[in-house]
Amino acid sequence: MVLTLGKLAEQVGGELQKGDPDCEITAVATLQNAGTGDISFLSNPGYKKYLYKTQASAVILSPENSADCPTAVIASSNPYVSYARAAALIVPAPSLKQGVHPGAAIEDDCEVDASAWIGPGCIIERGVVIDAGVQLDGGCFVGAGSVIGAHSHLHANVVVCHDVSIGMRVNIYPGAVIGGDGFGLANDDGKWVNVPQLGSVVVGDDVEIGSNTTIDRGALEDTVLEEGVRLDNQIQVAHNVHIGAHTAIAGCTGISGSATIGKYCMIGGGVGIVGHLEIADHVVVTGMSLVARSITEPGVYSSGVPAQDNVSWNRNYARLRQLDKLARRVQSLERRLAGGKKQENG
């Protein structure tokens, strides 16, 4: 889509500080690869080195960087958000489809809105409700009694098991599985007995779930994702987990059963979260951390060890193994010193 720079500035919440408002923008590109007709952005300071020589027709950036830009500027207090809005306007999503592909299979007693699209190879079991504007790409499976809210999009090969509730405008990317049985086991003299998983999964409005992410159904009550949650790829959400509104979780994180994560949290990639604990609102957990106890106060929490050269790591690890002995020696010395002071004072 072609938009003028002036109109684009209005629609993305920025201010055209310099440049021709009638300049036509036809595409988006990085600072280093942009050319005439492209708009780019600067959000991360690490990329400022590319700003000085950019060939973009315009750049979205913060006001303090405006003077350093050799081309037209849309100033924004949040350049990345403004860029996201610009990209959505210039490169709109593909037009929606409607109807049912001849290769889809829909069982009896389903309610499929006429404006929805059921792609090839989809299987819709009995009693499913699919609301207006829903898009089911090829190979999706929706189990009996599930509800898919209006304008949600299930990309290829998504599995939604029985009696799951998906809200409105939910995006679920290829290969995700929503509502599989949780890992519930009881031990009977060394043999495992499966515990029936009788709850379900409830996904709120405006949620995104990444490719190959798995969200298990609850054991008795439901696993819940509140509105606006963002899950990256290959995340495991175990049974009865509750994730608060607008929390974002990066790839390969594992969340054990019955953990509760608050609102507006940010969980880095590869984080492990132990079951039955609580994480407060507005908590940031950095990548590769292990959360083994509840976090009751907002803030940034870390436990992962950053990479270092192998020689340093081996040296530090050798000393780490001696830490317990060193602590015991220090405690022993402290007790001896304390005893000596008592004798002097006596």
The verdict on domain 3-90 having CATH code 3.40.50.300 is no
Lookup: tokens for 151: 């304008």
Q: Cα-flanking dihedrals φ and ψ of residue 216, to 5°? A: -80, 150
Residue 239 bears catalytic tag:
yes
CA 308 vs. chain centroid, Å, equals: 28
Which of 65, 60, 76 has its CA nearest to residue 19? 60
Whole-angstrom distance, CA of residue 235 vs CA of residue 305? 21
| Sign of the C-alpha dihedral computed for residues 148, 245, 216 and 237 taken in this order | positive
| Domain edges within the chain | 3-90, 99-301, 313-345
Instruction: Let me know if the fold of 3-90 is the same as that of 99-301.
Output: no
**Which residues are registered as beta bridge partners of 100?**
118
Return d(Cα 53, Cα 38) in angstroms, integer. Answer: 14
pTM to 2 decimal places: 0.90
What is the pLDDT, as a whole number, of residue 92? 87
d(CA 163, CA 160): 9
Nearest to 222 by CA among 245, 202, 208, 248: 202
Q: Which amino acid is at 137?
A: D
pLDDT in tens, the chain (346 residues): 789 999 999 999 999 999 999 999 999 999 999 999 999 999 999 999 999 999 999 999 999 999 999 999 999 999 999 999 999 999 988 889 999 999 999 999 999 999 999 999 999 999 999 999 999 999 999 999 999 999 999 999 999 999 999 999 999 999 999 999 999 999 999 999 999 999 999 999 999 999 999 999 999 999 999 999 999 999 999 999 999 999 999 999 999 999 999 999 999 999 999 999 999 999 999 999 999 999 999 999 999 888 999 999 999 999 999 999 999 999 999 998 887 766 666 6
What would the DSSP string read from start to end of 48-103? Answer: GGGTTT---SEEEE-GGGGGG-SSEEEE-SSHHHHHHHHHHHHSPPPPPP-EE-TT
Q: How far apart are CA 78 and CA 41, in angstroms?
A: 10
Within 8 A by CB and 6+ apart from 274, the residues are: 256, 259, 290, 291, 292, 293
Query: What is the DSSP annotation of 293-335?
Result: S-B-S-EEE--PPPP--HHHHHHHHHHHHTHHHHHHHHHHHHH
Strand-pair category, 24-25 with 3-4: antiparallel
Active-site position among 101, 239, 242, 282? 239
DSSP state for residue 47 in the 8-state scheme: G
* Tally of CB atoms within 10 A around 306: 8
**215 neighbors 199 (Cβ within 8 angstroms):** no
- The packing angle between helices 323-345 and 310-321, to 10°, is 50
Half-sphere exposure of 110 (CA within 13 A, CB side): 24
Which CATH number applies to 99-301: 3.30.565.10, 2.160.10.10, 1.10.274.100, 3.40.50.300? 2.160.10.10
Q: Residue 293's CB: how many other CB atoms inside 10 A? A: 9
Which pLDDT does position 306 carry in this prediction? 87
SS3 state at 46? helix
- Token duo for residue 197: 């998983």
